[in-house]
Amino acid sequence: MAEVVVVAFSGGVDSALAAHLLREQGWEVWAVFLRLTEAAEGAGRAAHLARALGLPLVEVDLRQEFEAAVVQEFVRGYARGLTPNPCVACNARIKFGVLWQRVQAFGARYLATGHYVRRRPAPEGGYGLCRGADRSKDQSYFLQRLPREILPQVLFPLGELTKEEVRRRFQGLGLPEVELPPESQEVCFIPPEGYREFLRRAGVAAPPGEIVDTQGRYWGRHQGLIAYTVGQRRGLGLAAREPLYVLKLCPETNRLVVGPKAELFAPGLRAVAPNWLTEPPAGDGEAVAVIRYRHPGVRARLRQEKDGSLTVAFAQPQAAVAPGQAVAFYEGERLLGGAWIAEPLREGEI
């Protein structure tokens, strides 16, 4: 009897082809649609594609868990002047957290998704995660906070494929016409009006305040801190001899700190709550640090502090280190783990 694998089934091309490939490999495949929001966009497409593929489809209602673990954390992060990454949190706490607990109750021993990432045997035993073969679509960054113990039970059928190959294979299935959504890089729960309007509706205070530089000199007024992110240049409305960038958001004083591009670069960062997908390092080490999705990465020294945090010293200074974002650590193609960025560090702090 074939073993059961549950596929997180969104109603898109990636999850549909992932399910098809697994069934071709001999698995008994169940499709699961995650209802995360009231709108639950994609439910109709998921049902249509599951029927066309001959897959049983189960809907799992995780709206309450998603609201508490992802949406409200996103809101609280912005209220504290952070730049949260809800997708990293969602993968760890919802898709490979609560959902994994639910599918085990169904009797399934494996969970699969359409992520572009590769699971490979690790030299020390067990499994590790590596970048997807299609580097332009690689999603390993978003999986940096997965619990290490889940790796033997997760499958990523698209990891060795390019996006073009996935589209071509999907089209070759000859499925009935279904209107597929355009690919989106937006956060799934943010409405078309944008995240600033979402935060205002959620009750995040956004009063105007002062714009100052690192010396405390006054430059003008901002329109509410939630309208700005570290590294932003456009939309400041400031007259200066050289372009000014957002360096820091200070919710405790409601000030926006700006400065020239040179001041945007930091030689390192402090990160908290590290999560390791390998054996936790016994001491200090080196890795390639990726400080946001699409960041090319930079060689860095990692120093473990007594309080459990990490000091990350870059080989070359990096621009726009944003508190609240996640930093991922790599060794070659392998994802070692990650942590949450607490603050950029300056010369003398490393």
Cα pseudo-dihedral 97, 131, 20, 184, rounded to 10: 80
What is the DSSP code (8-state) at residue 177?
A: P
Active site annotation includes 188? yes
Planar angle of CA 75, 249, 239, nearest 5 degrees: 130
**Confidence category of residue 183, pLDDT binned at 50, 70, 90:** low
Active site annotation includes 90? yes
Of 58-62, 63-67, 161-165, 194-198, the poorest mean pLDDT is in 194-198
**Confidence category of residue 191, pLDDT binned at 50, 70, 90:** confident
46-105 per-position pLDDT tens digit: 999 999 999 999 999 999 999 999 999 999 999 999 999 999 999 999 999 999 999 898
Domains and CATH numbers, the chain: 4-171 (3.40.50.620), 207-259 (2.30.30.280), 265-345 (2.40.30.10)
Spot the catalytic one: 87, 90, 130, 250. Answer: 90
What residues form DSSP beta bridges with 154?
111
